[in-house]
């Protein structure tokens, strides 16, 4: 083995941006889809981001799964509905 040294990993502390609550539904992005679940059924997948400060509102640790559903459309519709509920809840009482 030669005397070559492996580069060191350097981690920089990043400063979290100041929380900026959304003012309307346009201040959020809801990404809803589906994935195959067990026994041929489908699970809804969801990601909700508040774009004013980049905060990920869903999924979070311990978040419930969406489904299972018999069709892809039902899984995606349920995920979309859950996403809109999260947006409305954050508009009423912003997560800071």
Are 23 and 50 a contacting pair, CB within 8 Å? no
pLDDT at 2 over 60: no
Residue 47 is given by DSSP the state E
Helix, strand, or coil here: 90? helix
Nearest to 33 by CA among 84, 96, 77, 94: 77
Are 91 and 22 a contacting pair, CB within 8 Å? yes
19 lies in a domain? no
Model confidence pTM above 0.75:
yes
Q: How confident is the model at residue 6 (pLDDT cuts 50, 70, 90)?
A: low
For the segment 31-62, what is each residue's pLDDT rounded down to a tens digit? 999 999 988 999 999 999 999 999 999 999 99
Number of domains in the chain: 1
pLDDT at 13: 53
Range of the domain at 39: 25-92
11 lies in a domain? no
3 lies in a domain? no
For the segment 55-90, what is each residue's pLDDT rounded down to a tens digit? 999 999 999 999 999 999 999 999 999 999 999 999
2 lies in a domain? no
CA pair distance 21, 41, nearest whole angstrom: 36
Q: Is 34 exposed, middle or buried (0-12, 13-18, 19+ CB in 10 A)?
A: buried
């Amino acid at each position: 083995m030669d005397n070559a040294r492996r580069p060191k990993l350097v981690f920089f502390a990043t400063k979290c941006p100041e929380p900026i609550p959304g003012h309307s539904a346009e201040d959020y992005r809801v990404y809803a889809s589906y994935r195959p679940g067990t026994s041929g059924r489908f699970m809804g997948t969801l990601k909700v981001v508040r774009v004013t400060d980049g905060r990920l509102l869903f999924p979070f640790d311990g978040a419930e799964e969406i489904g299972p559903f018999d069709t892809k459309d039902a899984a995606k519709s349920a995920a979309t509905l859950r996403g809109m509920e999260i947006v409305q809840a954050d508009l009423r009482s912003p997560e800071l």
